[in-house]
Amino acid sequence: MTQSLKLTSPKVVQEILQSQGLRPRKRFGQNFLCDENIVTKIINAAELTPSESVLEIGGGLGTLTQQIAGSSQDVAVIEIDSDLVPILKNNLAGFPNVRVIHDDALKLNWKSLFPDKKRFKCLGNLPYNITAPLLEKLIETRSRIEFAIWMLQIEVAQKITAPVGTRETSSLGIFVQSFCDVKILFRVSQNAFFPKPEVGSAVLRISPLTQPRFHASDESFQRIVRSSFGMRRKTLYRALCMAPQLNLTPEQVRSMLSNACIEESRRGETLSIDEFDRIAQQLDFLA
């Protein structure tokens, strides 16, 4: 196996796995990208230059990594599957600018991979089962990330890009949009993968903001948002009163909403980021 293998061929992907006695593992959400056109579109969207550093989440067989390595001087690729790591290293043997890290992307300190403190870009075909915690990890690391080009399950992509204040709004969407500009660039058919996933995907550009779109503490803002969506059928007043992570009395909740100029009968999905912020600032005052 060398980098000359056509990794965008489903047949080649199957042959590589079979030669090692492997199958795609559901626990790692493995669906290998096998569409050369999609790989090219992702690379073009990343706007890579030779002087840049790039982090890839989930290298797989190296399909995307090879193209990244041809455009950037310093590439770190994280792969959790110990069975794939030797294959990945072999497929990337011709790229001395690539470091393969066998680790869990959720536990690893991404900043430590680029100790020169330069900002880096982040690319990846994300495992569907850990998308939310990876988004949280990106936000934690936002001061060092220029932007991310990530492929996500289409439903998740729609959820985090849904306009704030609509029925499609979610706590995850509020969370991401409070820290980042996020945009769906294009959709990806299920047929672009092996094995074929049950649903389609979308490629997003996620650009961290210099400052978040709220002024309350991160902790209070996140607690208020999560509590507001914890019981979507309840009014905002009831949801906040019943939220175990807040542990507030009805009087405290009523006072917070009044001071924030928010009606008690509202529901979480109708609030803007600014309105969540006003409530969260009241929670800060109680701390």
Do the domains 218-286 and 10-208 match in fold? no
Say yes or no: domain 10-208 is CATH 3.40.1010.10: no
| pLDDT at res. 233 | 83
Q: Are 211 and 178 in contact (CB under 8 A)?
A: no
What per-residue confidence (pLDDT) applies to 259?
Answer: 98
Mean pLDDT for back-to-back runs of 10 residues, the chain (287 residues):
69 89 79 94 97 96 96 96 96 96 97 92 92 96 98 95 91 97 98 92 98 97 96 92 96 98 96 98 95
What was the pLDDT predicted at 167? 87
pLDDT at res. 191 = 95
Upper half-sphere CA count for residue 27 (Cβ side, 13 Å) = 4
Residue ranges of the domains in the chain?
10-208, 218-286
pTM over 0.75: yes
| In CATH, 218-286 is 1.10.8.100 | yes
Contact 16, 186 (CB under 8 A): no
Q: In what order do the strands lie in the sheet with 201-208?
A: 98-102, 74-79, 53-57, 120-125, 145-153, 201-208, 180-188
For 190, counting Cβ atoms within 10 Å of its Cβ (0-12 exposed, 13-18 middle, 19+ buried), the class is middle
152: helix, coil or strand?
Answer: strand
The CA distances from residue 173 to 12, 106, 160, 224, in Å, are 37, 20, 4, 14
Q: What is the pLDDT of residue 55?
A: 99
Q: Please tell me the predicted confidence (pLDDT) of residue 4.
A: 58
